[in-house]
Chain A
């Protein structure tokens, strides 16, 4: 297991570096003119040359690449062409994107796999037809249009959420509340994610230890109650409960839109995979043994059917993370993907590469975590030292 983990880590770091190199050259070669010629038309030739020298874009491409790689390996992301350090900018942006991305992906994963499981288990009927139709509609519709329509109807027609049509979404936070607070929204978001992860980890630990002692796990409603109360309790205990709730109220629409955009695929894959699994002989065997239906469904079928869903999720994470730009653009949420696209239009190469480093790291880490989970769920993997898709 340790050997497998080390091998996987090394090979994913190599892939990450390959990806960053590729994107660096794509950015440099694809963008037709350089920063100075496009954005400083008022400068004369001499000033322009000087600016080029200052920004370091007068040197040949390979020299720039080596310089950039050298700095990256020493942990520096460089400074933007507009003069600010990239790290500070990213620190401001990452929590906003991750809040939507992580909660949306988790929600869509669990909701999608639950629906797919149910639909396949119940077989043909109105439930299966309805959920499949809804998922296919969500999966094949054009994401920007769908995001726009959802925002339009949920945010403007049904006045459930604070609609965000113009300007910066975060300006709609409760001003009085935030004027008195000493924390910034980004900090609160980071704390929110950390505490939620802690509570979830604690729950997993409890479940695991109960399983270890052969006791039945807690019922779902108790777990949910514990999760909600625990998270809220920690928030209020540390004194940022009101602020967190304010942010949550604002971010619920982006999370909802993102979940709806990404859950169709999960549901469809889970449904087909579950249908395939239900054909297996071991399901018939389990039925013949007279096991309760719930055990067959959740332990024998769903656990095996989950593999294709997980491997698909891994492949689509980069797409989802940068596809966030759709949600962020429509809802004016000032996140990282939007900044990534904006700095690409501005030809601000250091910021783009910095954001891509973050995207790459998030994807690689998620992939590694899922690989470990996979190896834990499926012992065959541990001996083949291959990534998840191999089975």
Chain B
């Protein structure tokens, strides 16, 4: 009886230990990764800026529901008759002034944050998926698959992104932010990202543990998912961040050309501000032109800084010393 309980408790302890061991490595690596990441002050600052943008995106509908009168502060059709003539300089009621059509600049700025996030996140996810799968597959199988994928990605690299995105903008001028991000993601993922991922995967696959796994009887998919992919994720994350930066700028470029009219973004704001400036005799209204440009830069720069931090995590050589 007594021995049975001790046996039972010891097996329980063993199981607990086993599950703890199974659990700890992930947390430990995550904590280690975070420590390396946090050493880079700018990367942490970038994360904070992204958080602030997220808060602003959430704050906009709340502000319109509570403090701001919904019809006056509408980012698309708003008009404040008290602040005329438009564009009016910054005042207490309109913190960044109003634009040529009488819309509140701050409200437009906040409204444009959500689409930017959606474009960036979709582009990042699709880039990561396409880039990683193409890179890993062609690095793992080599041979004809590699040849086909390499030629395709070489051809995709040649596709001029501005032209392609404008063609997409003309053809599908009612496209929402998510499909647009997806199209950009496919372009970036099959092109530049796939090439870099392939070379990174080649390095991973040449390591002894992959041969060991093969000798131990691991199938192709097992090796790719369990042994190669975990080593790819920091590089993938790095490319995701870069994709956000580029996709947001590309999205703004389409709107800047005046093609994408279904949702408001910072490119549209810059475009319309420059168009109105053509008809104004008073010169440029900087309080309308500069905030969207600054917001775009800050948004892109934040993701860039995070990608720099991840670069340190991704490259173990930099970590050791």
Question: Which A residues are within 8 Å of any B CB, using their own CB?
Answer: 11-12, 14-16, 18-19, 22-23, 26-27, 30-32, 136-137, 139-145, 148, 152, 272, 276, 279, 314-315, 318-319, 321-323, 325-326, 340-341, 344-345, 356, 359-360, 363-364, 387, 389-391
Question: Which B residues are within 8 Å of any A CB, using their own CB?
Answer: 150-152, 154-164, 166-168, 170-171, 191-192, 195-196, 198-199, 202, 245, 249, 252-253, 256, 266-267, 270, 274, 284, 289, 293, 296-297, 300-301, 304, 308, 311, 315, 317-318, 321
CB distance from B73 to the nearest CB of A (A): 25
Q: Which residue of B lies closest to A308 (CB)?
A: B196
Bound CA span A323–B277, Å: 24
- 29 intermolecular pairs with C-beta atoms under 8 Å apart: A11-B150, A11-B154, A14-B151, A16-B155, A19-B155, A22-B159, A26-B167, A30-B168, A30-B170, A31-B170, A141-B293, A142-B253, A142-B267, A142-B270, A143-B253, A145-B296, A272-B308, A276-B318, A279-B321, A315-B157, A315-B191, A318-B157, A322-B161, A322-B162, A322-B163, A325-B162, A344-B163, A389-B195, A389-B198
A18 touches B155 (CB 8 A): yes
Could you say which of B157, B166, B252, B296 contacts A344, with CB atoms under 8 Å apart? Answer: B166
B296 touches A12 (CB 8 A): no
Bound CA span A193–B218, Å: 58
Bound CA span A238–B109, Å: 57
B304 touches A136 (CB 8 A): yes
Query: With A15-B154, A15-B158, A19-B159 known to touch, is A148 a contact of B167 (CB < 8 Å)?
Result: no
CB contacts (< 8 Å) of A23 on chain B: these are 159
Q: Which residue of B lies closest to A329 (CB)?
A: B257
B163 touches A341 (CB 8 A): yes
CB contacts (< 8 Å) of B318 on chain A: these are 276, 279
A318 touches B199 (CB 8 A): no
Bound CA span A356–B318, Å: 41
Q: Which residue of A lies closest to B173 (CB)?
A: A32
CB distance from B258 to the nearest CB of A (A): 11
Bound CA span A4–B85, Å: 68
CB contacts (< 8 Å) of B300 on chain A: these are 140-141
CB distance from A8 to the nearest CB of B (A): 11
CB distance from A20 to the nearest CB of B (A): 9
B151 touches A11 (CB 8 A): yes
CB contacts (< 8 Å) of A340 on chain B: these are 163
CB distance from A298 to the nearest CB of B (A): 22
CB distance from A218 to the nearest CB of B (A): 37
CB contacts (< 8 Å) of A16 on chain B: these are 155, 158
Could you say which of A18, A137, A148, A391 contacts B199, with CB atoms under 8 Å apart? Answer: A391
